[in-house]
Amino acid sequence: MAAQQLAPVPDDTAIPKALLNVCFVLAVINIVLFPAFYGRGWIYDEAGLGMPTDFVNVWSAGRLALEGHPAWAWDWEIQKRVQVAVLGQSYPGNFAWHYPPPFLFVAEMLARLPYAVAYAGWAALSFVPYLVMMRAVVGRPFGLLLAAAFPVVLTNTLIGQNGFLTASLIGATLVLLPTRPVLAGICLGLLSYKPQYGLLFPLVLIAAWQWRVFVSAAITAVALAAVSWLAYGTESWQAFFHWMPMFSQAFLTEGRAPWGKMQSIFGLVRYFGGSEPLGWMFQGVMTSAVAVTLVVMWRSRLRYEWKAAALATGTLLVTPYLFLYDVMVLAIPVGFLVRVGLAEGFARYELPALGLVAFLLMFFPLFAAPTGFGATLVVAALIARRCGVWQNKAALLPDTSLVQS
């Protein structure tokens, strides 16, 4: 039985003027004015010293791999010595490397370049597949403008993070799944460099009987792990598993990063003074509720756009460890909402609600609170409303025609 398809978007559909104008303004801010917006330097400060940001852990991990010591990338003390050397200054705390060994391939490639070139090049290079993905999600060239306008573009570019890559892989998986299941699985397998964002996919793929996607994703992930083992040795995997509990202790128990930076319900509970067990309780309830909801949705008659949008949103809701740069993934469900809105018209509340999402994301630096979590909840509510969950429960009945053989 065949999987659902993405509905086409008519080329002659007028884009609401408010949506077009707001996206244009946000895109200009993101692309041109982000250094002035933050009121400081980007890669280097005024004294010519490197700005301590997240990208330094990528470049320094790659440098250690190039020098034949890949397992040292997970050692906080060694990492910081390399980082201080490249930045020309020290800084409080650590920018620790905590990715699985396969991501060292990317880090090593970037470390072959001068630091500033690698920093700017990483932002530019990873932005390209993100643009292509958003064009496909929206189904029209307007998707390119929407992609450039998304407020988290600013944060991700400034600190040299990998939010563009994460969003690209999740979005490509969802776009390709109905028609190119093997390619979709490969994209999902590549997402294993951030395994916390792939937790829901096995459940959904099993529920929808998407076995080709499931198998190709598993083969890709295992192949990546095997190749990284051959390239970087057993010691790199041992170091990864050795340091991971320490990283979890530092960020999820001790709160080395301010709780307001964590855009999850776990972070929200800790931000308001709740204990760690209370945070885990709230996170567990939300994760269970999201997982059950998605299984029901993906076995139902709901149109594919809403299933895909809900899954992308759910990936952000089920992980406690979520910083603003990875809220780039929220651009995917926003893109699906815009796709359907352009094809069938927007409800009167949808554009104002999307404006609220942009506000919550753009002004995070002013609030220093989990505003990204609030933005994710707003998008989740828009999807639920569009699905007609509160009016048409028949839409959630199992659909026996949507399963892939």
Tens-place pLDDT, residues 205-252: 999 999 999 999 999 999 999 999 999 999 999 999 999 998 888 888
In three-state secondary structure terms, 275 is coil
Total count of domains within the chain? 1
Domain assignment present for residue 12? The answer is: no
Q: Is the predicted pLDDT of residue 400 greater than 50, yes or no?
A: no
pLDDT given for residue 65 in this prediction? 96
pLDDT given for residue 40 in this prediction? 59
- Let me know: does 219 contact 68? Beta carbons within 8 Å: no
Domain assignment present for residue 4? The answer is: no
Domain assignment present for residue 30? The answer is: no
Among candidates 191, 290, 220, 207, which has minimal Cα distance to 3? 207
Domain assignment present for residue 2? The answer is: no
> Residue with structure tokens 């920018």?
95
Residue, of 114 and 388, whose pLDDT is higher: 114
pLDDT given for residue 398 in this prediction? 57
Dihedral sign, CA of 323, 328, 333, 334? positive
CA gap 241, 245 in Å, rounded: 7
Mean of per-residue pLDDT scores for the chain? 91
Among candidates 119, 133, 225, which has minimal Cα distance to 184? 133
Domain assignment present for residue 62? The answer is: yes
- Give the torsion through C-alpha atoms of 3, 193, 282, 358, to 10 deg: -80
- Non-local (6+) Cβ contacts of 387 within 8 A are 297, 302, 306, 310, 395
Domain with 150, as residue range(s), is 40-396
Partners of 44 in the beta sheet? 50
For the segment 326-344, the average pLDDT, to the nearest whole number, is: 96
Domain assignment present for residue 56? The answer is: yes
Tokens of residue 274, six digits = 């709740």
Partners of 323 in the beta sheet? 262
Q: Which helix (H) or strand (E) holds 350?
A: helix 350-362
CA gap 314, 203 in Å, rounded: 12
Q: Is the predicted pLDDT of residue 358 greater than 90, yes or no?
A: yes
Domain assignment present for residue 20? The answer is: no
Q: Is the predicted pLDDT of residue 97 greater than 50, yes or no?
A: yes
pLDDT given for residue 39 in this prediction? 45
pLDDT given for residue 390 in this prediction? 42
Domain assignment present for residue 401? The answer is: no
Minimum mean pLDDT among 34-43, 97-106, 142-151, 331-340: which range? 34-43
